[in-house]
Amino acid sequence: MLEPSTPVQFVKGIGPKLSEILANKGIQTVDDLVHYLPFRYEDRQNPRGIAELQLGEMGTLIAEVRTSGLFRTRRMPIFQLTVGQGRNRLKCIWFNGSYLRDKFQPGQLVALYGKVDLNRGEPQLVNPEFEILGEEDKAEEKAAESLEVGRIVPIYESAGQGKLTSRWFRKIIHNALKDLTPDLPEAIPAAICKRLNLPSARKALWEVHWPIEGESLLDLQSRRTPAHIRMIFEELFFIELGLELKRREQKAKTGIAFELNDRVREAIKKILPFHPTGAQKRALKEIASDMQKPFPMRRLLQGDVGSGKTLVAFEAAIIAIENGFQVGLMAPTEILAQQHYFSARRILEPSGYRIVLLTGSLEEDRKREIRRHIAQGSAQLVIGTHALIEHKVDFAKPGLVIVDEQHRFGVMQRSKLMQKTAESGNDRVGTGAPARLAEPIPEADVLVMTATPIPRTLALTLYGDLDISVLDEMPPGRTPIVTRRVGDERSDEVWQFVRKQVAAGHQAYVVYPVIEEKESELKAAMKMYGELSKRVLPDLQVAVLHGRMEADLKEQVMRLFQQGKIQVLVSTTVIEVGVDVPNATVMVVEHAERFGLAQLHQLRGRIGRGAAKSYCVLMTGGKVSEDGERRLDALVRTNDGFQIAELDLELRGPGEFFGTRQAGLPSFQVASLIRDRDLLEIAKKDAAAVLSAPNSEISQTEIERALWQMRTRWQKTYGLVEVG
Ligand code: ADP
Ligand code: MG
């Protein structure tokens, strides 16, 4: 009998060598193996006869190899295979098919899957997938054969450079399922299984691999059979359970109950440079209500670029400061920290708040002095980059931490960060005040701000541990940005347009794709800057900004641009985050096809911040990929960050959505955040229901079993993590 936790090498047919290949695929236990699901299914119940194949359709066919050979055309080698059923014959071709040269022997039985095309009036399969059937010992063939034909057959991705074929997985997984212990623990409470009509864990496992007779192929491909739904739900349910538990743990801790009296309200009103939007009011209300409660706030403020998050953050800061606490505001880059610092001084300093900026580029002496102010409590609002505030700062009385994260963190990274920041001020209290040790030390509130709207499904998983406030309304007086696509052969017109806008008193950004500040790319950007400043727009004030410049210089350039003394700013993506110059009305993006969708949207958010009409010109040079076309189209079509985020998620998948595969994002075995939104919502609700039990539906034992299973899963997904 195999247990889920048994190492794979004890499965019949897998030795130590093969288990190594599997380990590279992340398959170590029997449980991993049986969760290696087919990526599609092939209907081999009634495979088609050659004569029945439909043009333009995907066809499945089982036939005998007749002849094969490699042909060289002028452009590429083409491998040609002819298969037959009785008298009927069919040609299959593979472009660049040299690798297939010695693959087929006449008389072999092959299963083929591919699109039926017409070539000189004859149907043929082009680049079909194939599987050679019945290659093994005669003795095994009979038993194995029933897994190959006469049924719906699971197709697996091969592994180990093709060494472990789909056919191999079919057999091995079949073995594993056969020997798997019949009593898999049922970790989803019975009431939930019943309501959602979920089959048992074991039945579901069988049926995702080996569909029951008569199962709809369409349901299988779209992962909507009861077995699939069970597997997907299970995966989402345990993630949501962990997140929900984390949320509740936070609420069980001791926090600071800030007071929101008339004096504090007055202080907030005093700073307001304009009427807050309805969304800003609502968000502040939610934040203020959290802050008044005696447990730590963990809230996400989500809003499109330009929706006015900064103002809300400052209002929250005032609540903490007026209560005698300090506030830390952490930005992802130095430029953005500076930007926040400028705004804070403009908006908060008139009320007499003491604000400091702590950046890496300051001189050591100055840094030390600032740290002293923070440690003594005389600095009330501390603005800096994540790195700076994270480790070296000792707050006298931390009350609120604002993380402007620009979605660079996943669940795990964030929870580490929060732990650290929440503790940063407490070390001193803990060691310095031994007399009151029995009292728990209150944790600071945390407000996370994120610039790109996050599709709801992602928010539910990525930020499932946070409460969410959304700014879904733009400040008044904005005119929507007009976005156009232009091939770079028309650049003269584009520069003429920039000139006209500048003549009208506005400013322009020209963005060049230097994404990781690489030397070679930077060179191209600098060349382009030279070209613009010397030849194309010699009479305008043109400056350049990139990530490798000295911080002082960067700051100076930003200030001059803000003051309107620079008219055209040539820049790399360093301006992507947070820069706020309402007088800038044009953005020209060079090689727009090289940027990601979310990134272009972020960039574009730098304009359209004032009352004047703004223009975004997406220049493309050379050939644009199909996905590139879709990205650019989407930007031309809409300014709605949520729509763009949804499309971005669809185009790139959740892992890539955040730039790189982030450690904090669960990678799902079965579920898809795009396909399974509905199930995710249900899973979240049910996870919350379980934690509010026991009741007449869910027993204490069921809760314990669910939590136990959840911990095992989290352990596997995130490594060493404490939940619960
Ligand atoms: P983001 O959400 O991208 O951080 P900001 O906080 O930088 O947005 O705000 C964008 C611009 O909108 C800023 O120039 C800010 O001063 C302005 N703004 C914010 N709230 C309002 C409001 N209620 N009315 C008018 N302008 C506002
Ligand atoms: Mg901002």
DSSP class per residue in 548-596: TS-HHHHHHHHHHHHTT--SEEEE-GGGGTT---TTEEEEEETTGGGS-
For residue 202, count other CB atoms closer than 10 A to its CB.
Answer: 16
Would you tell me the crossing angle of helices 309-322 and 262-271 to the nearest 10 degrees?
Answer: 140
Question: How far is the centre of ligand 2, averaged over its atoms, from the C-alpha of 309 (Å)?
Answer: 6
Is residue 61 within 8 A of residue 100, CB to CB? The reply is: no
Q: Is 107 exposed, middle or buried (0-12, 13-18, 19+ CB in 10 A)?
A: exposed
Whether the CB of 452 sits within 6 Å of ligand 1: no
Residue 658: predicted pLDDT:
47
Atom of ligand 1 nearest to the CA of 303: 2
Residue 420: predicted pLDDT:
57
Residue 565: predicted pLDDT:
95
For 320-335, give the DSSP string: HHHTT-EEEEEESSHH
Residue 70: predicted pLDDT:
92
Residue 351: predicted pLDDT:
94
| Ligand 1 pocket test, candidate residues 271, 307, 333, 601, most atoms within 8 A of CB | 307
Residue 437: predicted pLDDT:
46
Name the residue at shortest CA distance from atom 23 of ligand 1. Answer: 276
Is residue 426 within 8 A of residue 370, CB to CB? The reply is: no
The residues of the chain scoring below 70 in pLDDT are 46-47, 134-146, 148-149, 387-392, 405-440, 452-457, 462, 515-517, 574-579, 652-667, 717-724
Question: How far is the centre of ligand 2, averaged over its atoms, from the C-alpha of 450 (Å)?
Answer: 8
Q: HEC states along 46-86?
A: CCECHHHCCCCCEEEEEEEEEEEEEEECCCCEEEEEEEEEC
Q: How many residues does the chain have?
A: 724
Question: How far is the centre of ligand 1, averaged over its atoms, from the C-alpha of 452 (Å)?
Answer: 15
Name the residue at shortest CA distance from atom 11 of ligand 1. Answer: 306
Whether the CB of 666 sits within 6 Å of ligand 1: no
Secondary structure tally for the chain: helices H, strands E:
25, 20
Residue 666: predicted pLDDT:
57
Residue 418: predicted pLDDT:
59
Is residue 34 within 8 A of residue 176, CB to CB? The reply is: yes
Give the separation between CA 246 and CA 415, rounded to whole angstroms.
9
Residue 476: predicted pLDDT:
85
Whether the CB of 280 sits within 6 Å of ligand 1: yes
Atom of ligand 1 nearest to the CA of 280: 23
Question: Any idea what DSSP says for residue 443?
Answer: B
Whether the CB of 303 sits within 6 Å of ligand 1: yes
Residue 137: predicted pLDDT:
37
Closest by CA to 61, choosing from 124, 137, 103, is 124
Helix (H, G, I), strand (E, B) or coil at 92: strand
